[in-house]
Amino acid sequence: MIEGTYDALELTLSDWEILFEALGEPKFRASQVCQWIYSKKEFNYHSMSNLSKTLREKLSNNILMSLPIMLRQQVSKDGTKKYLWSLNDGAKIESVILNHGGHKTACISSQAGCPLGCIFCRTGANGFKRNLTRGEILGQFLMMEKINGADINNVVFMGMGEPLLNEDNVFSAIRSLNDKRMRNLGARHITISTSGIVPGIKDLADFEIPIRLSLSLHAPNDELRSKLMPVNKNYPLQSLLYALRRYRERTGERITIEYALIDRVNDSPEYAYETAALLDGLEPYINLIPFNPIPSRPDLQRSEQSRIKAFCNALTELKIEFELRKERGTDIMAACGQLAGSQQ
């Protein structure tokens, strides 16, 4: 017998195996249940037809299926979908599905709010509540697949919060997404986006699953970056670049650099040259993001097209590979930096 109650999405495959042993059931039942949950998105034990009726009743009585409650779905004119979820304690988070035609990407939150306070981000302006559990992280993904009736091909931890400040739960969720007996999502289809948490980047370099790394840079020197991103005061560029090089050497994976272009703040060609010099030897892929306006900072505006073009021209001249990100979801506040976890 098992004592107490458990939450299904908080259980790893090993946890499931231990529970089934306690119930006097063979270990392979663990894989069967995980296939129902993670592959078939079936959250009702009574519908798991290859389990005995007695076992289904035991699961229903002892293992909760706690899922985020969808409060609202918004659909952008470009097909982007944003979801507002309520968690068990009333905390609210948002996550997004980007539709790229042939494939879909889920933008997942790792925290309710964010403690970092980057000046261009709506999430940080609303403060920090708490870390999400592994089950709350997985629940967003599974519920979006369930609601849309289709598999999601890629996951980016680029929603609300800093994933490397919730490393244990994020890594645990990634293990379940990647496990062939659970969701079976390939490592190259999973990306962590960080504001530059150096210890977390070092741990990611040693993580057993070779997932991809994206860094929010947004400025090529400590003075400007610290003004835009207070986290830079704790992890300045010299220590950050050391961690990035270590990740690159350990994994062989190319790093994506995110750079939001804010009008007359960080968008001059001089900053493009400085960025190239800073990243020399990393062979990065730079993702340029026209700044997405947020209500808390009306003084910050998207760069004019002429300034964006000049910045791009400078990178082209320096033979730096980059892409100017296509705007998605701005009309429903679903773009980069716009998530807030509120009903407003």
**pLDDT score of 4:** 59
pTM given for the model: 0.95
- % pLDDT > 70, the chain: 98
Which pLDDT score, from 0 to 100, does residue 317 have? 97
What is the residue type of 49? S
Residue bearing the bigger pLDDT, 61 or 197 = 197
Can you tell me the distance from the alpha carbon of 149 to that of 81, in angstroms, rounded to the nearest whole number? 14
Residue 310 is predicted with a pLDDT of 98
Beta bridge partners of 157: 192
pLDDT of residue 327: 83
The whole-angstrom separation of Cα 131 and Cα 169 is: 9
Whole-angstrom CA distances from 292 to 92, 118, 288, 297, 330 are: 22, 13, 12, 11, 7
Q: Which of 82, 207, 199 is nearest to 191 (CA)?
A: 207
Q: For residue range 234-262, list pLDDT tens digits in order.
A: 999 999 999 999 999 999 999 999 999 99
What does pLDDT average to over the chain? 95
Among the ranges given (21-30, 106-115, 168-177, 201-210), the one the predictor scored with the smallest mean pLDDT: 21-30
Q: Which of 187, 319, 323 is nearest to 257 (CA)?
A: 323
Alpha-carbon distance 134 to 125, whole Å? 24
**The pLDDT value given to residue 1:** 42
- Which tens digit of pLDDT belongs to each residue from 98-151? 998 889 999 999 999 999 999 999 998 888 999 999 999 999 999 999 999 999
Q: Taking residues 183-205, what's their average pLDDT?
A: 98
pLDDT of residue 117: 95
Burial class (CB in 10 A: 0-12, 13-18, 19+), 35: middle
For the annotated catalytic residues, the residue numbers are 94, 336
Note the pLDDT of residue 112: 97
Model confidence at 343: pLDDT above 60: no
What is the signed CA dihedral for 42, 44, 49, 50, rounded to 10 degrees?
A: 80
CB atoms within 10 A of CB 61: 11
CA-CA distances (angstroms) from residue 311 to 215, 270, 335?
19, 8, 21
Q: In order of start, what are the domains of the chain with their CATH numbers?
A: 6-64 (1.10.150.530), 69-332 (3.20.20.70)
55-99 pLDDT per residue, tens:
999 999 999 999 999 999 999 999 999 999 999 999 999 999 999
